[in-house]
Amino acid sequence: MTLIDNQIRPNASALLPILLFLVTFIGTGIYYQTQGVDYAFYQLPSPVAVLPALLLAIVMHKEGLNRAIDTFLNGAGHSNIMAMCFIYLLAGAFATVAKATGGVDATVNLGLTVIPSSFILPGIFLISAFIATAMGTSMGTIGAVAPIALGIAEAAGIDKALMAGVVLSGAMFGDNLSIISDTTIAATRTQGCEMKDKFRENIFIAAPAALIVIVLFFFLQTPAPTPDAGHIEWFKVLPYLTILVLAVLGMNVFLVLAIGLILAGGVGLVQVPDYSMSQYTKDIYAGFGSMQEIFILSIMIGGLGAMVKAQGGLAWMGLQIEKLIALFSRSHTEEANERAAELGIAGIATLTNTCTANNTVSIIVSGDLAKELAEKHEVTPKRSASLLDIFACVCQGLLPYGAQALLLGSIFLISPIEVSAHSYYVMILAVTGIAAVFIKHQLRQNAKR
């Protein structure tokens, strides 16, 4: 397998539609930012921002309108894209039903009851991490935890920017590892590996970063009383605990989410007054709706990517990456080439996420190229999926114009730049991620001696 398909001639101009999408999306965000508009980079919905790019790709297609449309539809309807979209729907439904039936509040209360006064910041990090891992969404975690974390910060006299960074750190840790996270779904589907294998590969890189940041947060705080937690409702925590256990055991993600959705609904029907079957079905549909943007965008990006690939855009990118690999692996050993390829995958994820301010979109955009790069240099699918997800997570957590920093900034009434500046976990994750690439190959070399 080569990065350059012999049937497709490398063509840099084929990347213009993607460039147009990025310029439209980012340029609009910058404009609104200068106007002082809240959530400036989200005023133009990304599925709308991609429309001019799709039109340009169709116009540039060299084989005529009908063939261009066929190429788009084949890309949009690819099995990987469809699988991601249906998992998005199930994940959204579970998160919405669990929240409506009190699962989020119950999980937060469970965490608060076990936080010692000398362990507030590490405790909030762990709560955020647990909820994000269970819910599969950093944004949903921030929405659930941030108001409580703000109250704790104000009551205990903790710097609000630091507390916001703690919440963001935990949310990104859990979102990166969760098997129902859209980033995990995108990474595993594009790279062709099992979620449990990606999780196991990922945890060896993420866990050291988490342990380091827990120690860091411990020394950055002063002991303070925590607010009283509500009554622990273990029954309402059950759906979260169940999907965590089933996910770690390697059960099919569709079945995991279906079981979680049924359990969350059952909890609501049994435990929540006036929660009816009618409301349950409405919450499921509302959960579907919460995934509308990423659902539509995934389909459109899938189609756009297929047209760019057919016109030689990805082949051209592959050619440039091959040149960089040759430059940084002058010894031409297999280990050096593999190491350079892994760093290339990390760079692809970082670059695309910087441009799109959306870690899921960046994985979708760069997924095919990363897979071809991995196959050529014998990087395992679980390794490439892990690196894609990790470095998209790192970049997203550091972007002041990312959704997570913007949401925390609005809740804590501070600048999103302050939030990103205290996102210590993703900073450390970047270091452990790069270190893992070099340590892996160093261990392999030592083993051969």
CA atoms within 13 A on the CB side of 429: 32
Nearest to 201 by CA among 341, 385, 374, 367: 385
431 or 299: which carries more pLDDT confidence?
A: 431
Nearest to 177 by CA among 113, 104, 243: 243
CA atoms within 13 A on the CB side of 136: 31
Q: What is the pLDDT of residue 432?
A: 94
- Residue position matching structure tokens 């910087």: 354
Cα separation, 239 vs 309, in Å, equals: 41
Q: Is the pLDDT of residue 4 over 70?
A: no
Q: What is the pLDDT of residue 418?
A: 86
Asked if residue 111 lies in contact with residue 134, where contact means CB atoms within 8 angstroms, the answer is no
Give the three-class secondary structure for 329.
coil
- Residue position matching structure tokens 């050993």: 333
Binned at pLDDT 50, 70 and 90, residue 127 comes out as confident
Binned at pLDDT 50, 70 and 90, residue 1 comes out as very low
214 or 224: which carries more pLDDT confidence?
A: 214
- Residue position matching structure tokens 């050619």: 319
Nearest to 293 by CA among 19, 47, 22: 47
Cα separation, 370 vs 382, in Å, equals: 12
Cα–Cα distances (Å) from 185 to 33, 86, 401, 417, 440, in that order, read 31, 10, 24, 29, 25
Nearest to 51 by CA among 82, 78, 28, 77: 28
At residue 77, what are phi and psi to the nearest 5 degrees? -100, 15
Cα separation, 441 vs 437, in Å, equals: 7
Cα separation, 333 vs 339, in Å, equals: 10
**Amino acid identity of 29?**
G
CA atoms within 13 A on the CB side of 406: 17
- The b/e string for 17-51 (b: 16+ C-beta within 10 A; e otherwise) is bbebbbebbbebbeebbeeeeebbbbebebbebbe
List the helix and strand counts (H, then E) for the chain: 22, 0
For the stretch 351-382, pLDDT in tens is 777 766 678 877 887 788 788 888 887 888 99
Cα separation, 178 vs 390, in Å, equals: 12
Reading the block at residue 442, the tokens are 């160093």
**Amino acid identity of 6?**
N
Binned at pLDDT 50, 70 and 90, residue 412 comes out as confident
DSSP state of 223: -
Q: Is the pLDDT of residue 41 over 90?
A: no
Q: What's the sign of the alpha-carbon dihedral 92, 94, 95, 96?
A: positive
116 or 199: which carries more pLDDT confidence?
A: 199
pTM (two decimals):
0.69
